[in-house]
Chain A
Amino acid sequence: MPAAKTIRVIGHRAINAVWRIGMATRFFFLILLYSGNSFRRFHLIIKELFSTGVMSLIIIVVAGLFVGMVLGLQGYETLKRYGSESALGVMVALGLVRELGPVVAALLFASRAGSAMTAEIGLMKATEQISAMEMMAVNPVARIVAPRFWAGVVSMPLLAALFSAVGVFGGYFVGVVQIGVDEGSFWSQMQAAVDFREDILNGVIKSFVFGMAVTVIALFEGYDAPPTAEGVSGATTRTVVQSSLAILMLDFVLTAMMFGGN
């Protein structure tokens, strides 16, 4: 009976998914519980900040510049039809600060730093470094996982802010320097339209939430990976797919909460 089998497979998958969500939630609370330990050994966090934050700098800056330039170009093409080229600065800045900065930076962060985290921890598990730590009465969550979590949570808003700032300059470069939109109206309309609390702070909150989601997914997938070569590669793939989907879904929820309705 293929129908019964299909239903059985779907049910099995669904139950499995709920199971994993529960495990991930427990894992998240474990991280928070053992965070105190990792704050006392701050150099561990610094080390992770280097590998997640500093190493992602180049991709974030380059991507931000090009996204800003594309926004400048496309925005100009559209705004030109309505004779409102002077609103180009507003469009570029609001688009970046509210949406593209946090979301694209988080997507890049998930594929650049999140996948590395999963692979690293999965490999540690495969080579039994984690069980060796447990043997030595070192808590692996406090020693390996929590510092990575905090490094991700701290670096994500900074990276998103950098992305937006570089993107605005990219838009400025294309719009003002190349196309010749009036520089004064570009900046002044932007400043009049972008609100610090409403737009910039909400963007920072978004990227903070994305940072948490990405790192928790990446760390959980790594920690939970089957200790084989195949298992680690599967876990890395799942990290990128799931965190990208999580970012986009969370983005909708957060946007609806922050800007929706009025």
Chain B
Amino acid sequence: MERTTLDLWVGMFVVAGIAALVMLAMKVGNLSTYNVSESYEVHAYFSNIGGLKPKASVRSAGVLIGRVTEITLDTERYEARVVMSLDKRYQFPKDTFANILTAGLLGEQYIGLMPGGDEEMLQNGEQLKKTQSAVILEDLIGKFLYSKAEEPAK
């Protein structure tokens, strides 16, 4: 087959296009930070998850260690069941505390893990027993007004 300058131009075009796609994936998107390491799943029950969404981050001491994979309502106890997948490199004690926290005042909600003191570590599929629900701003305001009303008038 003969080589022509046409082939060179088309080759350059295809290479440039693919390079642009790779650049978008690596530099613009999050493919380079995709977690390829192994993970394990744990779940926890919350009485209220507020605005937590699937794919929200799970952090401990501020470090991203996993993602929320699934949120369902357990109709036996009427609580939200949140499944999260954590990086296998990070092991947590069995009595780890799971909080739903907010990044900033009105920011996204995420799960914060506070390790306890247990000797045994959490295994795949186990449950985080100690949880604290999301802080709902309306409840907070309601409580505040309530306590104000209860105060004796001066």
Binding site for B on A (CB under 8 A): 46-47, 49-50, 53-54, 57, 93, 97, 155, 157-159, 161-162, 164-166, 168, 187, 190-192, 194-196, 199-200, 204
Task: Given A162-B17, A162-B20, A204-B21, answer yes or no on A50-B6 (Cβ-Cβ < 8 Å).
Answer: yes
CB pairs A–B below 8 angstroms (26 shown): A46-B10, A47-B6, A49-B10, A50-B9, A50-B10, A53-B17, A54-B12, A54-B13, A93-B28, A97-B28, A155-B17, A158-B16, A158-B18, A159-B17, A162-B17, A162-B20, A164-B24, A165-B20, A165-B28, A168-B27, A191-B27, A191-B29, A191-B32, A194-B28, A196-B34, A200-B24
Of chain A, the residue at the smallest CB distance from B11 is A46
Complex Cα–Cα for A127 and B28 (A): 49
Q: Provide the residues of chain A in CB contact with B75, threshold 8 Å.
A: none
Are B24 and A158 in contact, CB atoms less than 8 angstroms apart?
no
Is the beta-carbon distance between B16 and A57 smaller than 8 angstroms? yes
A155–B29 Cα distance when bound, in Å, is: 22
Do B13 and A158 have beta carbons less than 8 Å apart? yes
Q: How far is the CA of A192 from the CA of B28 in the complex (A)?
A: 9
Which of A155, A194, A196 has the most B CB atoms < 10 Å from its CB? A196
B33 at interface, CB cutoff 8 A: yes
B interface residues, how many (CB within 8 angstroms): 23
Question: CB-CB < 8 A to A200: which residues of B?
Answer: 21, 24-25, 28-29
Asked whether A158 and B28 contact (CB < 8 A) given A47-B6, A49-B10, A196-B34, the answer is no
- Within 8 Å of chain A (Cβ to Cβ): is B14? yes
- Bound form: Cα–Cα A50–B17 in Å: 13
| CB neighbours of B27 from chain A (8 A) | 168, 187, 191
Given A47-B6, A161-B20, A165-B24; A155-B30 close (CB under 8 Å) = no
- Residues of chain B contacted by A190 (CB below 8 angstroms): 28
Q: Which of B9, B33, B34 contacts A54 (CB 8 A)?
A: B9
Interface residue? B73 (CB, 8 A):
no
Q: Give the complex CA separation of A32 and B8 in angstroms.
A: 28
Closest to B18 in A: A158
Segment 4-53 of B: residues with Cβ below 8 Å from A: 6-7, 9-10, 12-14, 16-18, 20-21, 23-25, 27-34
Distance in angstroms from B114 CB to nearest chain A CB is 24
Asked whether, in the complex, the Cβ of B7 is within 8 Å of the Cβ of A158, the reply is no
- Kindly state the separation between the CA atoms of A190 and B33 in the bound complex, as whole angstroms: 12
Q: Which residues of B contact A196 (CB under 8 A)?
A: 25, 29-31, 34
| CB <8 Å contact, A158 and B29 | no
- What's the least CB distance linking B25 to chain A, in Å? 6
A190 to B34, CA, bound (A): 14
Shortest beta-carbon distance, A185 to chain B, in Å?
14
Chain B residue numbers with a CB within 8 Å of A54 are 9-10, 12-13
CA distance A159 to B17 in the complex (A): 6
Distance of B53 from chain A, by nearest CB (Å): 9
B10 touches A53 (CB 8 A): yes
Q: How far in angstroms is the closest Cβ of chain A from B69? A: 15
The answer to whether B17 touches A199 (Cβ under 8 A) is no
Q: How far is the CA of A46 from the CA of B29 in the complex (A)?
A: 31
Given that A46-B7, A47-B6, A191-B29 are known contacts, is A53 also in contact with B24, CB under 8 Å in the complex?
no
Most buried by A among B6, B23, B24, B25: B24
Assess whether A57 is in contact with B13, with CB atoms less than 8 Å apart.
yes
Contact check: which of A161, A168, A195 meets B30 at CB < 8 Å? A195
11 extra interface residue pairs, beta carbon distance < 8 Å, beyond A158-B17, A161-B21, A194-B30: A49-B13, A50-B10, A97-B24, A155-B13, A155-B17, A157-B21, A162-B16, A164-B28, A165-B28, A194-B29, A200-B29
Could you tell me the distance between the alpha carbons of A155 and B23 in the complex, rounded to whole angstroms? 17
